[in-house]
Amino acid sequence: MRSVILAALLIVLGIPTLHAADGHDLPKAKQTKLGLYLTPQEAFDKVSAEADKVLFLDVRTPAEVIYVGMPSAADANIPYMVQPDFPVWDETRSTFKLEPNPDFVSDVRVRLERKGLKPDAEVIVMCRSGDRSAAAANILAEAGFTKVYSIPEGFEGDMAKDGPNAGTRSVNGWKNAKLPWTYRLDRQKMYGLQ
């Protein structure tokens, strides 16, 4: 029922959507070239059942992981976007600008190799709320990866538009699904420390 309401709302607002295989309608920013999507629960189930066959990556910045936490099941944090060496302010978004991580694809390949996986293995990517994970999935697809799944709900989920939780990321996502996550980070999983 919730997905039907969300789809109707997106249509009324004129936001382009795509009906994903899992039944969710996705805004354009969350769509991927490969069209492979998982809910947080599906990702958790897949990683739990096939941990040795899949690479699960948190593609948020290290700062996000430090302050917001990280899924316990993630194999590593490899940010899709990073802060430039010299901070630049983004007036439109009222935050610091991020730029693409030039080592993203090569770092993913290193993590696959360390886990004993080939480039045709399944890779799951997750960010805060699905936009960056879609972009990360697209970059990996362009690099020849063929089984990259994005988690459109992300770690924190979508922003509630109204009600008592308006303005908070409380609609969906890994944390809101009550899946295992932690503030206690594993050095071996962290970007730049491997």
Q: What are the pLDDT digits (tens) for 7-45? A: 433 333 333 334 344 435 899 999 999 999 999 999 999
CB 126 within 8 A of CB 74: yes
CA distance 165 to 77: 29
* DSSP secondary structure string for all residues of the chain: -HHHHHHHHHHHHT--EEE-TTS-EEEGGG--SS--B--HHHHHHHHHH-TTTEEEEE-S-HHHHHHH-EETT-SEE--SEE--SS--EETTTTEE--EE-TTHHHHHHHHHHHTT--TTSEEEEE-SSSHHHHHHHHHHHHTT---EEE-TTTTT-PPP-SSTTTTSS-SSSTTTTT--EESS--GGGSTT--
Q: At what angle do helices 104-114 and 131-142 cross, to 10 degrees?
A: 80
Q: Which residue ranges form the domains of the chain, and what is each CATH number?
A: 26-189 (3.40.250.10)
Q: What is the pTM of this model?
A: 0.84
For 30, 40, 119, 132, 177, the CA distances from 5, given in Å and listed in that order, are: 18, 20, 38, 24, 19
- Bridge partners, residue 99, by sequence: 82
Q: Tens of pLDDT along 91-115? A: 998 999 999 999 999 999 999 999 9
pLDDT over 80 (residue 3): no
Q: Tens of pLDDT along 136-179? A: 999 999 999 999 999 999 999 988 888 888 887 888 999 999 99
CA distance 140 to 167: 32
In the sheet where 76-77 sits, what is the strand order? 76-77, 54-58, 122-126, 148-150
